[in-house]
Chain A
């Protein structure tokens, strides 16, 4: 065992002795900045699956690096810069809060390609933004939730009051109400994307308040575990399949599938055909998938949920199709009218029937 001499050398380290390994055929390096740990089995895990898909698709031609649990703000800026100094040619930043940092670094390194998830700022030409239409998935699980609840109280663990989250609440609620006029949503704002302790508390509080179905827009499996312990409570996997909690409490899931987009964009960057874009894809393109519906869901509900899923996938149905009123009763969409992307992207209001206020 050659451990000891190495350790002694490590302890005695006083000067930088090792030289950087000689660069051979320089591979295209892609960096990933993650907001949570890869082991969250949720949001960050799915992005890392995308990274692995890139590695598999390009083999030795591509090198990937990543940094996990990077706080949003100046720390993110530093991590990105160090990635670039370390040779990164392209960087994916996978949280909304990385927007200012991504654009600041992009302005300093015009030759590096940037892809910012769920963002809207594209200050320089080397920044693209991309997101998924998660609300399409929410329509399907909202439909299931409306059928499954017996207490008619559906709990919803929301993260931050931003348009993406509000869209999800609205979409799930509309489709739960459609099949169950008595259903009510209780929304808890966790103000975190990933904090198992807070998420478990939120789930428990909702269960105590009578919720027997819980939807989450946070990334950990803690709500699933809380529901399992309580018993008789149904949940849905978020971001990843969370299949380890099937067949109950997890009865289906919304899965983010970033791999194809990442492979496509990295390929374009390598070929030099990459162009700035604002991508917003959903179930038709396969960026959002619905996880297996378990036996806990009655067969006819599985059938109707599958029908909605297929209609959205085929582009025949839009989850925000009128008539829909705002929470205050004013009209938003007329009969048959479909929401435009601009309104959806900046959605800051609840639809009619939801109780409570969006905090601000």
Chain B
């Protein structure tokens, strides 16, 4: 019989070796799947993991794209991880992302056609504010009405989607767009654009903000009393209360920070890569970021790597579709395998596998 015995300390070897083993296992299992679909598995792996980074033909384009794709994921996931560590479950980052984009875009368009350099900073503040406000609804309801923040924040995503549709077809619609939905383009208008900061790197303000957030979260969790309170609340809620942690304050702070970062991610996306408010502006970053947060073990540096890895499988997966004609669902299944193996191997870092019966105490 196989038993799992909790390790007193996570195994260092497994913490580092685990992800590498998980990627290797994914390659084997994914390789079987691709082979069954009639593609050369070695070539498929090369295209997914190698070509986006080092191929002569693609890398100069796809390497910057990696940052563009990973930036919002990392920014949102860092915010979510704080709450998750404290046992506060903001599942509605997608909605906060939308509302942040709407607030930011509305602020920028309100001054159209001004090209003042003050507009973009104002848009960033508006985006942060939008995200915070949307996150405060589940937070305040949790604190004052004891509602469940998982349900409220999730359901508010659908409200935000309805607001987005109404903005794209109504109050933010481009008056020169001959009746078609979609706002004016923000990224091609000086003053409201979130440009590439260094040409050819994909680095825009949002990516920069993601890196800053990673560092700030790392410092917060390691050095700041708030980080200590967050960890304590998650690991021992009763002890935290006796230790003087105010749970209501913590809920508002964690929801507020995650909402702010999600809102900022939405603003940077709408003024940069996406360029405008459209009906389908939200592409699921808020939900994918939850996966990124857990994949990175709720650790800021882990989230940075997890975001980049997931972005790599997105971009490499698209290449595999194009070059090998693999169906899109097989790529999604492949990503699913990666998550499955990473989380499964994670068990080995925290538990020892024992064979045989438990020794009599």
Contact = CB atoms under 8 A, between A and B. Distances in A.
Given A6-B31, A11-B24, A71 B180 contact: no
B239 interface: no
Interface stretch (A75-83, A140-148, A217-225, A270-278): A75-83
Interface stretch (A230-238, A291-299, A341-349): A341-349
B278 A191 contact: no
Contact of A359 (B44, B166, B278, B284): B166
A348 B179 contact: yes
Contact of B169 (A9, A85, A346, A359): A359
Size range of the chain B interface in the assembly: 35 or more
A196 interface: no
Interface of A: 3, 6-7, 9-11, 13, 15-18, 20, 31, 37-38, 65-69, 71-75, 77-79, 81-83, 85-86, 96-97, 99-100, 104, 120, 160-163, 191, 345-348, 359-360
Interface stretch (B61-69, B80-88, B112-120): B61-69
B327 interface: yes
B280 A97 contact: yes
Residue from A7, A97, A99 having most chain B Cβ neighbours under 10 A: A7
A10 B28 contact: yes
Contacts of B49: 13
Contacts of B32: 3, 7
Closest 7 CB pairs of A and B: A360-B170, A74-B273, A346-B179, A10-B31, A16-B50, A71-B283, A68-B328
Contacts of A7: 28, 31-32, 35, 41
A37 B328 contact: yes
A191 B45 CA distance: 36
A131 to B, nearest CB: 12
18 contacts: A3-B32, A6-B41, A7-B32, A9-B42, A11-B24, A13-B27, A13-B50, A16-B51, A17-B42, A31-B322, A73-B280, A78-B65, A79-B322, A100-B278, A161-B169, A163-B179, A359-B165, A359-B170
Nearest to B324: A65
B328 A6 contact: no
A347 B178 CA distance: 9
Given A16-B54, A71-B280, A120-B180, A82 B61 contact: yes
Contacts of A37: 328-329
Given A13-B49, A100-B185, A73 B42 contact: no
A133 B37 CA distance: 38
Interface of B: 24, 27-28, 31-32, 35, 40-46, 49-51, 54-55, 57-58, 61-62, 65, 68-69, 161-162, 165-166, 169-171, 173, 178-182, 185, 269, 273-276, 278-281, 283-284, 315, 318-319, 321-323, 325, 327-329
B169 A11 contact: no
Contacts of B276: 100
| Interface of B (DSSP majority class) | helix
A7 B269 CA distance: 39
Given A73-B274, A346-B179, A347-B179, A85 B58 contact: yes
Contacts of A11: 24, 27-28, 31
A128 to B, nearest CB: 17
A11 B24 CA distance: 5
A33 B327 CA distance: 13
A38 B329 CA distance: 11
A82 B319 contact: yes
Nearest to A14: B50
A65 B320 CA distance: 11
A221 B40 CA distance: 34
B280 to A, nearest CB: 5
B31 A85 contact: no
Contacts of A74: 68, 269, 273-274, 283
B227 to A, nearest CB: 33
A9 B284 CA distance: 34
Given A16-B50, A191-B161, A73 B318 contact: no
Contact of A10 (B27, B185, B275): B27
Contact of A6 (B35, B46, B57, B180): B35
Contacts of B275: 100, 104
B352 to A, nearest CB: 25
A120 B68 contact: no
B230 to A, nearest CB: 33
Given A65-B322, A86-B322, A73 B283 contact: yes
Residue from A75, A77, A79, A359 having most chain B Cβ neighbours under 10 A: A75
Residue from A17, A77, A100 having most chain B Cβ neighbours under 10 A: A100
Contact of A13 (B35, B42, B284): B42
Given A13-B27, A100-B185, A191-B161, A68 B327 contact: yes
A14 to B, nearest CB: 9
B315 A78 contact: yes
Nearest to A348: B179
Contacts of B69: 78
A97 B274 CA distance: 11
Residue from A6, A15, A73 having most chain B Cβ neighbours under 10 A: A73
Contacts of B42: 6, 9-10, 13, 17-18
A175 to B, nearest CB: 23
